[in-house]
Amino acid sequence: MIKLRDVEKVYESGAGKTWVLRRINLDIADGDFITIMGPSGAGKSTLMGIVGMLDGAWKGEYHLLENAVHKLDNRRRVELHKKYIGFVFQQYHLLDNLTVAENLDLPLSYRDIKKAEREGMVADILDRFQIVGKKALFPNQLSGGQQQLVAVARAVIGKPKLILADEPTGSLHSSQGKMIMDLLKKLNQDGTTIIQVTHNDAWAAYGNRIIQLADGWIVDGATKAGAV
Amino acid sequence: MGTLWQDLKYATRMLAKNPGFTGVAVLTLGLGIGANTAIFSAVNAILLRPLPYKDSSRIVNVWTTLSYFPNFKLGNSPADITDIREGSHVLEQMAEYKSETLNLTGGGDPEEVSAGLLSAEFLPTLGIRPGVGRWFAAEEDKPNSGVVVILSDALWRRRFGADPEILGKDVTLNQKLYRIVAVMPPSFRFPEKAELWIPLALTDKENHDRMMHGTSLLAKLKPGATLPQAQAELSAIASRLAKQYPGVDNGIGLSVVPLQADTVRDVRPALLVLLGAVGFVLLIACANVGSLALARGLKRQKEIGIRVALGASRFRIMRLLLLENMLVAGIGGALGLLLAWWGIDALRSWAPSSTPRLAELHADYGVLWLTLAISTAAGILFGSFPALQFSRPNLDAALNERSSAGSGSSHRSRLRNALVVVELALALVLLVGSALTIQSFARLTHVDTGFRTDHLLTMSVHLSPLKYPQTSQQTDFLTQALEKLGPLAGVENVAAADAPILRHMMKVSTITIEGAPQTSLASSGSLQIKGVTPGFFQTLGMRLLRGRDFAKTDIQGAPGVAIINESMMRRYWPDGNAIGKRVSFGTGKSEKPIWNEIVGIVNDTRDTSLNSTPQPEVFLSLWQSPTDGIDFYLRTSGDPASLAPAAQSQIWALDHDQPVTNLSTMEVAISEDVAEPRFRTMLLGLFAVLGLALALIGIYGVISYSVSQRTHEIGIRMALGAQPGDVMRNVLWDGMKLALAGLAIGLVAAFGLTRLMMSLLFEVKPTDPVTFAGVTILLGAVSLAACYFPARRATQVDPLVALRHE
C-alpha cells in the first residue's frame, strides 16, 4: 500500500542544515497495523506528516496505492489525501465552535458530498460509535475520551483506507486509552490500514509491526525483512 | 452551494463567539463606510450626476469677459447675443435668462423673491415641463404683454397654501399684476434660488443695447460638436465684434462653460477634499480591521490546520476566511447605511443653503447600492490579506501546537506593522489637512475687517421701479427712512449705502483721472464703487484718514465728490497726494466724463467677503447717485437684534408694500459669510478625529498583541535581571519605531497632498511648518500614550507564570 524510498526531510537555517528524516525506506501492506516508536525528536510526527501529505517539502519517492505521490502537484495530493487518509491526533483537534455532528460532517463537506448523503453518513457513524446523544453538544461539553471517540469517528467517516493516529491516547487515562485502542484494532480487523505513533509499549502491542526511529533514521522494522 | 451556506453558517457562529473582534471591526467599518457613503452621495448628487435636464451634457453657458474686469464673468449684451445667434454654427437652442429680485405684495407681508426672467425658448431648451399649467407662449415674451408668471413649487406651498385652483389667479410683483399660468415641479430651481419665473420680454431698445452685460445666455452644443470647437467659434465672433464695434466691444471675449461645471464650480474643491478625507478614514478603518483579522488569524492557525488535515482545499479555507470578513463588512455596511442615511439628512440640514443642487441630495436606492459597493470593496480590501496569509498554514506547528516563530510568522508580523505605519501616515495627512483648515477658519473669523462688526444692524430695501421710477422719489424715500430710523431708541448712528456688506456683492467700475495720460480701459484697472450717505464711515466704525466725510450739501447739482480708500490711493497716488484730484467713473465708452473731486481717504475694509483682499474702492455720495437698492446700517448701543422689528416697522410705516430683506446683525451676516468654510472645517475636523482614534486603536492593538506574544520572552528577560524600566523602554521603542515610520511617511504625503487644498485656505500656507510640526508632535505624543498601556502591562509580567506560558 505504501512504499517510501530514500525519503529525506531537512530544515535549512542560517546555521546550516538540520536533518529530520534520513533515507527512509519503508513498505506498508494493505491491512497492516504499524506502530512507530522512538524518542522525542526522532522524526515520528514528521514521518506521519509526510505519509499524510500534510507536508510537501521533502525528497525521495513515495508511492501510495500505485500513486507516485512525489510526482503529484499539491492539488492532486489534496485529492489523494481526502480520498484515502483519515487523521487522529493526540489533542483530538475537534473544532470548538462546531457541534459533534458538525465536526463529523466537516471532512465530508470537503469531499463535496451532497448534503443529504452527508447527513446519512453522519447519522450512521453516530449510531456506530454510540454517540447519537452527543451529536448536538460542543467539544468542551465532552470528556477527553468522548472527544477522542468523536475524533476517531471523524477520521473514519470518509471510509479511509489508511488511518494515521499520532499518539491517539496521549491525553487519555488508561481506561479511555484502551477503549480507543480497541476501537482502532476493530477498524484494522475490518480492513483499514493503521499507522500509529505511541510511546506506550502496551498500545504498541496492538499493532502487528513496530518501527523504531532515532535521530531521523529507521533503526528497526522498516520492512518485514528488517531495517535498511 | 450547500457548502457555501454551511461556511456562511460557521462564519456567522465564529463572529458571534468573538463579540470583541466583531464589535470593534463592525463599528470601525460602519463609521468608515457610513462617512464615505454620505460624502460620496453628496459628491454624486452635486458634482457627478447629470443635471436633470434633457441632453444636459450638451448644455452650456456663454459668458462675456472684459479685459478691464479680468476677474469677472459677465452676462452678455442683448445685441451681442443677437450676433452670437446669427454667427454660431456649433450652438443651437439658445435661450436668454436673467436673475432679479421682485417685490411680491398682497395676501401677506410684502416679501422680496428671487425671480428668473426667461426667454420663451428657455424651458423647451432644458426639456422641462411645468408640474401644472403651461409654459410661456412666444407672444408673451414681448414687452407689455409678458404679464404671466410661473411659480415654484416651494413658493406655491409657502405663500399660497398649495392652492389647487391657483392657475389663472393674479399676483402682484413690483406693483404690477401677473397672471399665474403654471407651477413648476419641486425639483426645478433655475437659476439657483429662483422662486418664480416671468418672461424676459426685452424691449426693442434693450435688444439693441451693446453696453449692459446683464443677460445670461444658455445654449446646447449641436450633437457631435465639442466644447473646444464652440470656444474657438465664440472667440472668433468676439474678435469680430471687437473690430466691428470698437467703441463698446473693445476688449470683449466670449467664454463657453458647461452648465454643470458652472453650477458646481464653487463647491467642487471642498467636496473633493472631503471625499479624499473620508477615503482616508475608510483606508485607516480597513487597515485597522485587516490588522485585527491578521491577529485573529494567528490565533486560529490550529483550527485552520485541522481543517486542512481533514481535507480542506486552499480555496475552501480562503473562502471561509473571506466569507467571515465579508460578513463583518456586510454588518459594518448595514451600520454604515444607517449612519449614511442619518449623515445625508445631516448634510442637507447643516450644509450652507448656498450649496448648489442640495435639493437633489437624498437617501435613495442609489445609496443602498453605493453602501453595498463600498462594503464589498472594504471587505475584499481588509479580508484578502488574512485569507491569503492563513490559507496555507504551517501544519506541523499548527497541529502540534508549537510556536510558529518561523518566517511566515515574522512575515505576518511585518504585515501588521506595515498596516499600522500606513494608518498613522494616513492619520497624519488627515490631521494636517484638518489643522490647516481650522487655522484658516480661525484666521478668517478673526480677520481685521476694517470696520466694527459689533452692535450693527443691517437691512436691505429694493424699491419697486414702478412705484419709485424717479431718482427724486428714491431720494425722498431714503431721506424719510433715515429720519425715521435715526430717532429709534438705542440707535446711535444710521447710514445707507447702495450695496450690502459681506454678501459677496460689489459694483465695479473703471476710472479716468483728470489730467492723466489717456490710457486704454484695460490698463486703467477696475475698482469697487459704492454710494453712501454722510455718516456711513462713522456708523460702520471706519477711520477717516484724511480730508472730510460727505456732507448733506453733497447733493445732485452740487460739485461731484468722492472718498477713496487706502488701496486706491496706493494704486493711483502712491505719494499720498490724492485730495483735490478729480476722477470720473464708468466704462468710459462714448460718455462725457462726470468729474468727482476726491475729498477724503478712509481705511481699507473687507466688505465683500471676509476672505477677499481689500481692493481699491471709491465711495460716492448716495445723494448724488441715488438708486432703488438701499442698504441701511444702524449702529446701536444695545443688542442690535432687538431693534430689528422696530427698524422694519419704520420702513413699513413709510410704505407697507415695501419688503425688507437681509434684516440681521452684522455678526449674523459674518456667520453666514463663513458658513461654507465653517461647515467643511467641521467635517474635516470630524474625519480627522475619527482617523486619529482609529489609528490609535490600531497601534494600541498591535503593541498589545506583541506584548501578549512576547510574554515568554519578557519572562526570560526579567528572570535574567531585566528591570521594569528596561522592559518598558523595550516595548515603547517597538511601538514608537512604527509610529515614527508612519509619521515620516505621513509628512512626505501631507507635504504633497495639502497643496491640493490651496484654494480652500485663508492666510495659511498649505505647507505651514508650524502646523506640520504641531500635528507631528501631537500624533507622536498620543502614539506614545497608546503604546504606554501595553508597555506598562509588560512590566507587570510575573517571570514564573510567563516561563510556564509556553
Number of domains in chain A: 1
Nearest to A52 by CA among B305, B676, B555: B305
Report helix, strand or coil for B290.
Answer: helix
Does residue A87 lie within any of the structural domains?
yes
Residues of B in contact with A154 (CB under 8 A): 310
Q: For chain B, list residues with pLDDT below 50.
A: 403-407, 520-522, 590, 806
Residues of A in contact with B2 (CB under 8 A): 109, 114-115
Q: Does A89 touch chain B (CB under 8 A)?
A: yes
Nearest to B442 by CA among B665, B768, B765, B763: B763
User: 427712512: which residue's cell?
Assistant: B481
pLDDT of A114 = 87
Nearest to B583 by CA among B633, B527, B650: B527
Helix crossing, B314-350 with B301-309: angle to 10°?
A: 140
Mind giving me the DSSP string for B627-671?
A: -SEEEEEEEESS-GGGGHHHHHHHHHHH-TT--EEEEEEHHHHHH
Chain A / chain B CB contacts < 8 angstroms: 61
Report helix, strand or coil for B782.
Answer: helix
Cβ of B10 and A45 within 8 Å? no
Nearest CB to B309: which of A87, A96, A111?
A87
**What cell was used for B435?**
489643522
Residue A226 has pLDDT above 60, yes or no: no
- In order of B62, B206, B210, B239, the CA distances from B246 in angstroms are 21, 20, 11, 10
Mind giving me the DSSP string for B83-143?
A: HHHHH-SSEEEEEEEEEEEEEEESSSS-EEEEEEEE-TTHHHHHT---SEE-PPPGGGSST
* Angstrom distance (rounded) from CA B685 to CA B689: 6
Cβ of A112 and B3 within 8 Å? yes
Q: Does A73 touch chain B (CB under 8 A)?
A: no
H-helix or E-strand spanning residue B425: helix B407-445
Residues of B in contact with A46 (CB under 8 A): 396
**What cell was used for B214?**
446683464
CB neighbour class for B27 (10 Å; exposed up to 12, middle 13-18, buried from 19): middle
pLDDT of B649 = 94
Contacts of B779 by beta carbon, 8 Å cutoff, 6+ apart: B424, B427, B428, B431, B692, B739, B743, B746
Tens digits of residue pLDDT in B181-238: 999 998 888 887 899 999 998 888 888 888 888 899 999 999 999 999 999 999 999 9
Residues of B in contact with A107 (CB under 8 A): 310-311
* Angstrom distance (rounded) from CA B691 to CA B439: 19
Q: Does A91 touch chain B (CB under 8 A)?
A: yes
Residues of B in contact with A9 (CB under 8 A): none
Residues of A in contact with B400 (CB under 8 A): 45
Contact A106, B307 (CB under 8 A): yes
Phi and psi at residue B594, in whole multiples of 5°? -110, 110
Tens digits of residue pLDDT in A16-46: 888 899 999 999 999 999 999 999 888 898 8
Residues of A in contact with B305 (CB under 8 A): 93
Report helix, strand or coil for A85.
Answer: strand
**What cell was used for B652?**
413699513
Residues of A in contact with B309 (CB under 8 A): 52, 54, 87, 89, 93
Strand partners, A85: A162
Contact B224, B85 (CB under 8 A): no
Nearest CB to B14: which of A97, A109, A158?
A97
Nearest to B337 by CA among B657, B6, B29: B29
Contact B520, B589 (CB under 8 A): no
Cβ of A95 and B306 within 8 Å? yes
Q: At CA B261, angle to CA B259 and CA B265, rounded to 5?
A: 125
Contact A211, A37 (CB under 8 A): yes
* Angstrom distance (rounded) from CA A46 to CA B581: 104
Nearest CB to A109: which of B6, B308, B396?
B6
E-strand stretches of B20-75:
59-66
Q: Does A130 touch chain B (CB under 8 A)?
A: no
Strand bridging mode A2-13 / A59-64: antiparallel
Contact B471, B629 (CB under 8 A): no
Tens digits of residue pLDDT in A182-211: 989 999 999 999 999 998 999 999 999 999
Distance to chain B for A225, nearest Cα, Å: 31
CATH number for A182: 3.40.50.300
H-helix or E-strand spanning residue A75: helix A74-84
Q: Does A106 touch chain B (CB under 8 A)?
A: yes
**What cell was used for B363?**
437617501
Strand bridging mode B148-151 / B176-183: parallel
Q: Does A97 touch chain B (CB under 8 A)?
A: yes
* Angstrom distance (rounded) from CA B150 to CA B200: 12
Alpha-helical (H) ranges within B710-768 are 711-719, 724-753
Phi and psi at residue A15, in whole multiples of 5°? -80, -5
Does residue A226 lie within any of the structural domains?
no
Give the structural domain span for A165: 2-220
Report helix, strand or coil for B593.
Answer: coil
Nearest to B498 by CA among B465, B480, B476, B474: B474
Which chain B residue's Cα is nearest to A82? Answer: B311
Question: For A90-94, A141-145, B11-15, which range has the lowest pLDDT when averaged over its residues?
Answer: A90-94
- In order of B211, B247, B299, B523, B585, the CA distances from B591 in angstroms are 11, 10, 87, 18, 10
Q: Does A43 touch chain B (CB under 8 A)?
A: no
H-helix or E-strand spanning residue A211: strand A209-214
* Angstrom distance (rounded) from CA B9 to CA B3: 10
Cβ of A91 and B401 within 8 Å? yes
Residues of B in contact with A53 (CB under 8 A): none
Determine the residue among B5, B306, B394 to mutate to test chain A binding: the one whose Cβ has the most chain A Cβ atoms within 10 Å.
B306
H-helix or E-strand spanning residue B381: helix B365-390
Domain parsing of chain B, residue ranges: 1-52+269-404, 91-223, 456-673
Q: Does A76 touch chain B (CB under 8 A)?
A: no
Q: Percent helix, strand and coil across chain A, each rounded to 5?
A: 35, 30, 35
* Angstrom distance (rounded) from CA B531 to CA B478: 13
Q: Does A110 touch chain B (CB under 8 A)?
A: yes
pLDDT of B715 = 77
Nearest CB to B316: which of A49, A55, A110?
A110
Cβ of B396 and A106 within 8 Å? no
ipTM rounded to 2 decimals? 0.73
Strand bridging mode A2-13 / A217-220: unpaired
Determine the residue among B15, B17, B310 to mutate to test chain A binding: the one whose Cβ has the most chain A Cβ atoms within 10 Å.
B310
Determine the residue among A76, A93, A140 to mutate to test chain B binding: the one whose Cβ has the most chain B Cβ atoms within 10 Å.
A93
CB neighbour class for B26 (10 Å; exposed up to 12, middle 13-18, buried from 19): buried
Distance to chain A for B685, nearest Cα, Å: 43
Q: What is the 3-state secondary structure (H, E, C) of B9-26?
A: HHHHHHHHHCHHHHHHHH
Cβ of A110 and B311 within 8 Å? yes
H-helix or E-strand spanning residue A88: strand A85-89
Which chain A residue's Cα is nearest to B9? Answer: A98
Strand partners, B64: B74, B254
Determine the residue among A76, A92, A109 to mutate to test chain B binding: the one whose Cβ has the most chain B Cβ atoms within 10 Å.
A109
pLDDT of B518 = 54
Cβ of B310 and A87 within 8 Å? yes
pLDDT of B520 = 47
- Between the two ends of chain A, the Cα-to-Cα distance in Å is 19
Contact A163, A86 (CB under 8 A): yes
CB neighbour class for B142 (10 Å; exposed up to 12, middle 13-18, buried from 19): middle
Q: Which residues of chain B have a Cβ shorter than 8 Å from any chain A Cβ?
A: 2-3, 6, 10, 13-14, 17, 302-303, 305-313, 316, 395-396, 399-401
Q: What is the 3-state secondary structure (H, E, C) of B311-363?
A: CCCHHHHHHHHHHHHHHHHHHHHHHHHHHHHHHHHHHHHHCCCCCCCHHHCCC
User: 525519503: which residue's cell?
Assistant: A7
- Which residue type occupies B84? I
